[in-house]
Chains A and B, each alone.
Chain A
Amino acid sequence: MSLWRYTLTAPSLCLGERTKKGTYRASIECCIPYSQITGALRARYGTDQGHIHAVGLLTSFNRQTVMRGVRDRAAGLSTLPLEAEVLVNVKGTIYVAVNEYTTHLPTEIDLEMGAFRSQGIGRCHLSRPVTQRPLPVTPTVQGRLAVRLPEDKIVLRLFGIEEVIMPIWGYLFEPDEQHVGGQYVRALFEGSIVHGPAMLLGKEEKDGQ
């Protein structure tokens, strides 16, 4: 098993938390969940590319709050203005599982991800050096997961997660094949203790001495 490592840059990004109601929409700040980046890559390369699996980490960003009026297209109405947290000047790292479908993935990828895409937010650029070789997921070490991955054995194996020692669960949205509906699947969230590749694990907080 191996992974492509892409550098992500985005002028603005809103990875909306799924908290609804109210007039404020926060953005995820810890990582780029599997569902977001995988969905964006599959959308970029066609819905039949169901074998793309990716996950991401955010390395640096600034925060900004923007006001947006969300329009309900079905009803033809604008709802209350929404205050949304947007990450700007975003840099991150994306790991894409290498398999027969992704071996020849381009070195430069432009895609759209997250909320408010129709308003220009979420345009991302992914790049990797032409000379880069796929990174092996071994050796694995014990640590706290820094990304969000569905609790699917195949996905976990692709990303080198050998053992889940203490899970922190949440749910990620998995769209159906037609992209008209979907379901929520149980997932390992950041902070879960696992045996996995160091690149997907966070750093333990230490006393500075």
Chain B
Amino acid sequence: MDKPRTVTWAVICHHHDEDYTLPDTWASEEEKARTRSVFLSIIADHLAATAGRVLGQKVGAGEGPDEVHRLWRPKFAQTLKKEARPIKSEPLLRKALALLGDASKKFSDYQAEYGDSLLVRAEDADWARRVTSLLSHMVLTGQFYRVLDQAVETLDNPPRLALHGVEVRGVREAEKEWVGRLVRAQVYFHQQPVRPADLGIFERLIESHNTMTKAYPNHLLFAIGNTLWLFLPGKEPPEEQPAIRSGEESEQGTGRRLKDVLAIYTDAGFYVQCELRDDTMQNLGVWISEAIRAQVKEIGEQEQKELEAAIAAKNQEIERLGQKVATLGEQIRQVTSIQPRQVLIDNRKALSEQRGEAISTQRRLREQKQVLEDWLRAWLERKEVLGYQANYPVDILKTEHFDPHMCEICQMRPGKEVRFGTATDYLCPLCAGIRQGGFSQRELSEWLKQERGNVLWMKVNLNPELLEATLAKLFAAYVDTLKAEAGKRVRIKAGLRLPALLRDFVGDYRALLEELEAEVERVAGGRKQMATLAEDTWVFPIRDGEQVYGLLNRYCELLGQRFPVFWPDPDMGGQVMVSNPPIRLGISIGSAKYPFYQHWRYVSAPPAPVSVWVVGREPLEVDLVGLEALLKVNFSAKEARQGRTHLHKLASIERRSGSRGLVQAIFLSELKDPRGSKLPRILEEFGEPMKSRLLGIGQILAYEKITTFGRQGR
């Protein structure tokens, strides 16, 4: 490659140089800008890396492919089209690099041209690092870089860079001295909408999300649903320091407080729960959450044992080498001058070489032992750097008590009498404002005012804590398949940084939501027949259970395509890697007049991976494997009439006897003896899942009732 010309080019050439240090003097303003960019980009690159970048824990590129290994979709590379492969031919690569080096082009131009290839190209071909896409890595590196660029000051004589007063000259020094904060924030509202107009709270939330994205395009690493991941450089400034409220404002000299950033939400009446990690740049992003430690406690204990065993083994080896060095020293002394001179020289030389080798091996082992001990200490002390923060609207912070009345919608503020038509409600100014503002999706408001008819509320939920734990576990399982010694595997696992992985996962999850929304539109009968409350929440008037069957089938299919790791793996003897997936589906069906907040309570915290509730009936709460088994039978089809009748008989036995166990026993005994039984063939599909306790009769009954909802008597 040519010598660096543009700043981007210089960054590309030098961004892996961990020993990068500032010169003794600035040769020119141009060099000053270029050096600063390279310096910050090295740190940004480390922050956006997946594992081991700072620690140099390489397993080796080996013969592995360049494609990304998605932990939740291990065969992702095999499913790719040819045109979406990573760029390998030299002319194409030169063209791509030329575009990257062109100062007049933006990253968006590059992404438009090569986005597909970047999405499938692993960030690093090393086996331990190929779990994130180059695209996510590049986007995150850019974000980290721009945030640092806003916060870091350049000082002269001698050249130094300072983050909020902490001055450094080298990258390694900055990694250890500069600190930052990674935050996972979840935004909630207190309101329990009673009337359609109260649903305007969802529109307020979307407005706040949009404001956040515009105000903090770089601090906000990514977001999905009500969850945001943020990066704030430097230490949190003290309370007495004036707040930096705008995202555009310079952070040089002082940092910005988390609560000031989140004021976008709290000023609008939302509250935000945060889990955060303050750490040095070197360790920032390593296993961000408390939940992960709880989830991987077992792995942790195992790793601790492995680390201790590895340290003990190193100690033994060091001791053995120490004895060898002493023996060799003794042998050298015993080589006497009686021997011919050449033999004497040869013997001494050979023995000295052996001794030197033993000493250098001993030194290397000591260094390795030191690294292991450092990791063990870091593992044990990890809890120190985790924190929590709750951010509430100022009025709630100040109000320890108030007299009746209470606002009937948010139940967090004093309410005043407000008249809407003939009705009188006690509302706080915030909730009254939302109600007066109304809800722009008129169709939904009209459906909810109907006296008759049913409405389906559907929400896909992503549990961020469970997601982080799942990714850490999948990564640990992946690392265990690598050909590396135990100690190294431990260090790679412990060095996992989540941001890039999370970004990739969120990308797939968002694509799932988009595809699911298209399915909702199809099932509902058109865009005008549905309402989108949030990117993961939909409502539409429902006709019958066949629509639910269609939705569940498609959900299962889409989830299976994008997240196959939630299903049994034939390569693992039919075991499920992740039995409690972080993605859950909640569906609630009820009459249009049924209170919204009851639906919301169910769909926003579904008790099982798939939870479907028809108001007044037993809910279907089942895991994904169970759902797949259920979906083999479509009770809403005409052919299933016989099976339905039989199930109704079983249901009546359950009602009269009050025993579900009895019904289960009858079902299984009928399965055992197909010749003498009246069990319809269609129900035999459930034989295996019931024998293996994957499904219970209660779930089959609930499934039947849901899928035949609105079709009785047809």
Binding site for B on A (CB under 8 A): 17-24, 26, 65, 85, 151, 165-171, 174, 181-186, 193, 204-209
Contacts and interface: CB of A to CB of B under 8 A. Distances in A.
Interface string B286-325: 0000010011000000000000000000000000000000
Contacts of B616: 65
A183 B403 contact: yes
Given A171-B412, A206-B580, A19 B388 contact: no
A168 B272 CA distance: 10
Contacts of A165: 388
Given A184-B402, A184-B406, A209-B579, A24 B598 contact: yes
B295 A206 contact: yes
Contact of A167 (B390, B404, B577): B390
B392 interface: yes
The 3 A-B pairs at the shortest CB distance, nearest first, are namely A166-B388, A208-B579, A20-B408
A166 B408 contact: no
Given A170-B411, A185-B401, A207-B470, A18 B598 contact: no
B401 A207 contact: no
A170 B390 CA distance: 13
A22 B412 contact: no
A19 B401 contact: no
A21 B409 CA distance: 10
Given A23-B593, A204-B291, 8 more contacts: A18-B408, A18-B411, A20-B408, A165-B388, A169-B390, A170-B412, A174-B401, A206-B295
B192 interface: yes
Contacts of B406: 18, 171, 184
Max chain B C-beta neighbours (<10 A), residue from A151, A174, A181, A209: A209
Contacts of B469: 206-207
B244 interface: no
Contacts of A21: 194, 408, 423, 425
A186 B389 contact: no
B426 interface: yes
A101 to B, nearest CB: 24
Contacts of B295: 206-207
Contact of A22 (B190, B401, B473, B595): B595
A184 B194 contact: no
B578 A207 contact: yes
Given A170-B412, A171-B406, A205 B466 contact: yes
A67 B470 CA distance: 45
A193 B425 CA distance: 34
5 contacts: A22-B595, A23-B593, A65-B616, A193-B388, A208-B579
Contacts of A183: 401-404
Interface residues of B, number: 45
B469 to A, nearest CB: 6
A208 B598 contact: no
Contact of A209 (B192, B578, B595): B578
Contacts of A26: 595, 597-598, 601
A170 B271 CA distance: 12
Interface in B33-56: none
Given A168-B390, A205-B463, A207-B580, A19 B403 contact: no
A18 B425 CA distance: 13
Contacts of B390: 166-169
B386 to A, nearest CB: 10
Contacts of A204: 291, 294
B662 interface: no
B673 interface: no
Interface of B: 190, 192, 194, 271, 273-274, 291, 294-295, 388-390, 392, 396, 399-404, 406, 408-409, 411-412, 423, 425-426, 463, 465-466, 469-470, 473, 577-580, 593-595, 597-598, 601, 616
Nearest to A26: B598
A18 B405 CA distance: 11
Contacts of B404: 181-184
A166 B389 contact: yes
Contacts of A151: 400
Contacts of B411: 18-19, 170-171
A166 B400 contact: no
A209 B273 contact: no
Nearest to B413: A171
Contacts of A182: 404
B466 A207 contact: yes
B392 A169 contact: yes
Contacts of B463: 205
Contacts of A85: 598
B194 A22 contact: yes
Nearest to B615: A65
B400 A186 contact: yes
Contact of B294 (A171, A181, A206, A208): A206
Contacts of B595: 19, 22, 24, 26
Nearest to A166: B388
A190 to B, nearest CB: 12
Contacts of A186: 396, 399-401
Nearest to A193: B388
Contacts of A185: 400-401
A31 B13 CA distance: 60
Contacts of A207: 295, 466, 469-470, 473, 578-580
A206 B470 CA distance: 10
B581 to A, nearest CB: 8
Max chain B C-beta neighbours (<10 A), residue from A21, A65, A185: A21
A35 to B, nearest CB: 13
Nearest to A143: B294
A193 B389 CA distance: 10
A167 B389 CA distance: 8
Contacts of B593: 23
Contacts of B392: 169
B197 to A, nearest CB: 13
A167 B396 CA distance: 12
Nearest to B412: A171
B288 to A, nearest CB: 15
B693 to A, nearest CB: 14
Contacts of A174: 401
B622 to A, nearest CB: 14
A20 B409 CA distance: 8
Nearest to B274: A166
A135 B473 CA distance: 37
A21 to B, nearest CB: 6
Nearest to A204: B294
A208 B593 CA distance: 38
B396 A169 contact: yes
Given A170-B411, A185-B401, A209 B426 contact: no
Contacts of B594: 24
Contact of A208 (B271, B426, B580, B597): B580
Contacts of B400: 151, 185-186
A17 to B, nearest CB: 8
